[in-house]
A and B are shown apart, each in its own frame.
Chain A
Amino acid sequence: MTDTSTPGKKTDWASPQLLAKVAQRQRAEKRFRRLGLSAIVIALAMLATLLFSIAGKGYSAFYQTRLVMDVTFSEAVIDPKGTRNEDDLRAAGYGGIVRDTLRETFPDVKSRKDLRELFALVSKGAPMQLRDMVLDNPDLIGQTVPVDFIAGDDIDMFNKGFIPRDVPEGDRRVKDMEIAWFDQLDAVGAVKMVFNSTFFTSGDSREPELAGIWGAISGSFYTLIVTFLISFPIGVMSAIYLEEFAPQNKFTDLIEVNINNLAAVPSIVFGLLGLALFLNVAHLPRSAPLVGGLTLALMTLPTIIIASRAAIRAVPDSIREAALGLGASKQQTAFHHVLPLSMPGILTGTIIGLSQALGETAPLLMIGMVAFIVDIPGGFTDAATVLPVQIFLWADSPERAFVEKTSGAILVLLGFLIFMNALAVLLRKKFERRW
């Protein structure tokens, strides 16, 4: 360009050099455009890989292998006295019944070692399963009925195809013998795939086939309640103060700068604060949703304040002036007029803040919510864990079956998050007003 545009000399725009230059610049333009598009495509591909890899690993957690076998509820074992006393029924030796059932179904298995393998065909929870059946319906005693046993985790993995048949026996967890038994059951139609209700109704367990997420979901629920009860009122009150009442001075500046910085403090630091403040100074119980909720509330507070302030600021001044003009005090204006009008925006921000809190793991590790907890928490001070922490714990477990459970739990967690965010979007769409 420069050599042809010297002053006095007319530029020949049709010259081959210039045309070539223009073509080159247009190619560069196209390249640049493609580069931008490919950045987006790569990012989206990463997201898709993440979601598909987890969905692919996790969908099988929602169903479960059951083995159907005829069980004789022998009265001599369960209730020798014949009293049908509930405590006796509870204490009876159901393990023996499970073993007898397996022995009867596979009469050729004799050696001690083989028998141990055989008993591992069904879950370690099988005796409990029988016990619950008997407690539910004591008339079963003395009868022989087909029972759906939950399969052991290895058999479950084998049936779902995660343990292939064609690898050498030494390299797989399910031995040839077990496969033979399994095929024998399969041949008579005694292998079923059913919806895995255990996964949604039970707490954590060392046995993958008995582990469920209900304990973690309850823990998350209690934790979020505490978080909401603390962070919502305090967040809204701070936002109202800062937007409607705060004088322009150093202290207000301090609060504002401080809120912005708190929003960027790493979450794990809040965990250490919770550890030092709530556990070591206030002596609240470890691992409790109460402490987790308080810690997460401090973390969520800046998000809620920032969102609420934006919502309050969006209410036009004419509303305030009208209220003041009719004789309302400043507080009446704020609480009777501005606050209701900004509520949809505040709620949207709160839901987004809570969904962040729901997915948060690191601070909860610091306050001991990582314990192995079987019982379903029933209150704010019971030891509990939350869904993300449960995912973290299972991700650490070596059993193949826990990979499936982890991914399944992630799918459930993502489901909750999608629900909450959809709710926030819906709220905004329905109630958003533009003045």
Chain B
Amino acid sequence: MSFLPLVLVLLAMCTFGYWYGSRRAMAQTDSSVRRVAVRPHQFGLYVAIWGLVPPVFLIVLWGLFQEFGSSLGPALFDQIRTIVFPVVTLLVAAGGLYVSIQKINPALKVRKTIETAVYGVLILASTLSVLTTVGIVFSLLFETIQFFDKVPLSEFFLGLEWSPQTALRADQVGSSGAFGAIPLFAGTMLITLIAMMVAVPLGLFSAVYMTEYATDRFRAIVKPILEILAGIPTVVYGFFAALTVGVFFRDVGSAIGLDVVSESALAAGVVMGMMIIPFISSLSDDIIMAVPQSLRDGSYGLGATRSETVMKVILPAALPGIVGAVLLAVSRAIGETMIVVMAAGFAANLTANPLEAVTTVTVQIVGLLVGDQEFDSAKTLAAFALALVLFVITLSLNVIALIVVRKYREKYD
């Protein structure tokens, strides 16, 4: 018996248990008794829980066992899998149902069992997010360790050359593969820097205008429109960057005598900045709003204009929060994938010139993993190493940003 029918049979058994348990509880309740702490269907649920929990537990154990069970020999393992396991599971379920049905009587504290079971499910559900993190760390770490067996740490973090195409045949010329990730880090930083140069001034000034100058009506209309920028899928930005902005910069460049490639870091960076504007503006908006009114009133009382108040009082007071917001934005820019995959280059190029094509960490992860994969080649494993670096960097930026923002909030709470 394979897995799906087994589950269906289990569910059918529990449904029957629910129905039978409810009926039996109903039959036992004296209809003249008005005070019933527990309703009949809760007895049904009680029975169903007894019928479901032990087999599910068994199935989980089986899942773990399967990983090394094949060492018993294929024939024996197959017999266990097709006959012993389903039979045992169904017997356990039937046993659970039988015992719980026997136990039914009006004095039984059914609600407690049910609530314990529900509580367990709730805890399991919230643990899933922790398990996700653990899963990310382990899946990345495992492959990364394998990668560093093949490529030394020093080459990866200090090497200046990146060409991950390893040889198909041992005697092939010029395809030994180089895994120096510095050009990728430099490219990522260049594009992030350009994005920040677009997003920070625009986002910050929008936030200042929205909080300090705009009328409520203006705010109510313009703020949601600005937020549209955050809702547009990144693949759309990528298309826009590659087809419109990249070409536009190239044409402008050739008109004024500059050599701009159409996959320039500038185009990708500007469009990425555009995407991040609402992120910075809404975060700074919250932070500027949180600056106590008394500070503003004090400043106005001394005769300062609004702009003087903003520049000399509000922004300095909000600075830690704004730094936190910018850090969050940087972490988002570093992890952004589609814009750079579509609008930046694939070839690693160590340059600080924004008019040339550079590549980023995320572009290389996509490039290495899309298409055919062999899971023992350094090429595929390199993607996991890059992803681990990406994960660690974005995580640290977030943690730092959250600490900064929290410190700032405490100051004014």
Residue positions of A touching B, CB distance < 8 A: 25-26, 28-29, 31-33, 35-40, 42-44, 46-47, 49-50, 53-54, 57, 233-234, 237-238, 240-242, 245-246, 254-255, 258-262, 264-270, 272-273, 275-277, 280, 298, 301-302, 305, 329, 331, 355, 358-362, 365-366, 370, 388-389, 391-392, 395, 403, 406-407, 410, 413-414, 417, 421
Cα(A141)–Cα(B362), bound, Å: 57
4 closest pairs, A vs B, by CB? A266-B335, A359-B233, A36-B209, A39-B205
The answer to whether B239 touches A406 (Cβ under 8 A) is: yes
Residues in A whose Cβ lies below 8 Å from that of B229: 43, 46-47
Chain B residues 391-409 with CB under 8 Å of chain A are: 391, 394-395, 398-399, 402
A44 touches B243 (CB 8 A): no
**A365 contacts B129, CB within 8 Å?**
no
Residues from chain A with a CB closer than 8 A to the CB of B213 are 33, 36-37
Please choose the segment from B72-80, B99-107, B132-140, B261-269 that sits at the chain A interface, where 4 or more of its residues have CB less than 8 A away. B132-140
Contact (Cβ within 8 A) B239 A241: no
**Contacts A25-B305, A44-B225; A272 near B365 (Cβ below 8 A):** yes
Q: Considering the complex, which residues of chain B in the window 124-175 have a beta carbon less than 8 Å from any beta carbon of chain A? A: 125-130, 132-133, 135-136, 139-140, 142-143
Chain B residues in 8 Å Cβ range of A35: 205
Shortest Cβ distance from residue A255 to the other chain B in the assembled complex, whole angstroms: 5
Q: Which residues of chain A come closer than 8 Å to B139, judged between CB atoms?
A: 272-273, 276-277
Task: Name the distance in Å between A405's Cβ and chain B's nearest Cβ.
Answer: 12
Nearest Cβ distance between residue A330 and chain B, in whole angstroms? Answer: 8
User: Would B231 and A361 count as touching, CB distance under 8 A?
Assistant: no
* A28 touches which of B111, B208, B307 (Cβ 8 Å): B307
Q: Does B60 contact A (CB under 8 A)?
A: no
Q: Contact check: which of A237, A254, A273, A365 meets B132 at CB < 8 Å? A: A273
Among A26, A254, A413, which residue has its beta carbon within 8 angstroms of that of B236?
A413
Contacting pair A301 B239 (CB below 8 A): no
Q: Please tell me if B234 contacts chain A, counting CB pairs below 8 Å.
A: yes
Are A237 and B135 CB-contacts (below 8 A) given A36-B209, A359-B233, A388-B233?
A: no
Q: Which of B50-58, B84-92, B317-325, B326-334 contacts A (4 or more CB under 8 A)?
A: B326-334
Distance between Cα atoms of A273 and B212 in the complex (Å) = 44
Pair B391/A255 contact, Cβ less than 8 Å: no
CB pairs A–B below 8 angstroms (17 shown)? A26-B305, A29-B308, A33-B306, A43-B277, A238-B129, A241-B125, A241-B126, A265-B136, A266-B362, A272-B383, A276-B139, A277-B139, A362-B234, A362-B341, A362-B366, A392-B238, A414-B232
- Fill in one digit per residue for B179-222: 1 if any A CB lies within 8 Å of its CB, else 0: 00000000000000000000001111110111011000000001
Given A37-B209, A39-B205, A268-B365, A301 contacting B122 (CB threshold 8 A): no
**Contacts A44-B226, A272-B140 known; A417 to B387 CB distance under 8 Å?**
no
Beyond A39-B205, A361-B338, A403-B243, 4 additional contacts (C-beta under 8 Å) are A49-B244, A237-B121, A268-B335, A359-B232
Contacts of A410 in B (CB 8 A): 236, 239
Q: Which of A264, A265, A417 makes the CB contact (< 8 A) with B233?
A: A417
B48 at the A interface (CB under 8 A): no
Whether, in the assembled complex, B300 has its beta carbon less than 8 Å from a beta carbon of chain A, the answer is no
Q: Taking the nearest CB of chain B, how far is it from the CB of A363, in angstroms?
A: 9
Give CA–CA (A277, B228) in the complex, Å.
34
Complex interface: chain A residues within 8 A of B335 (CB): 265-269
Q: B118 at the A/B interface (Cβ < 8 Å)? A: yes
Closest-by-CB residue of A relative to B115 is A331
* A241-B125, A395-B242 as given contacts; A361 in contact with B233, CB under 8 Å: yes
Contact of A301 with B132 in the complex, beta carbons under 8 Å: yes
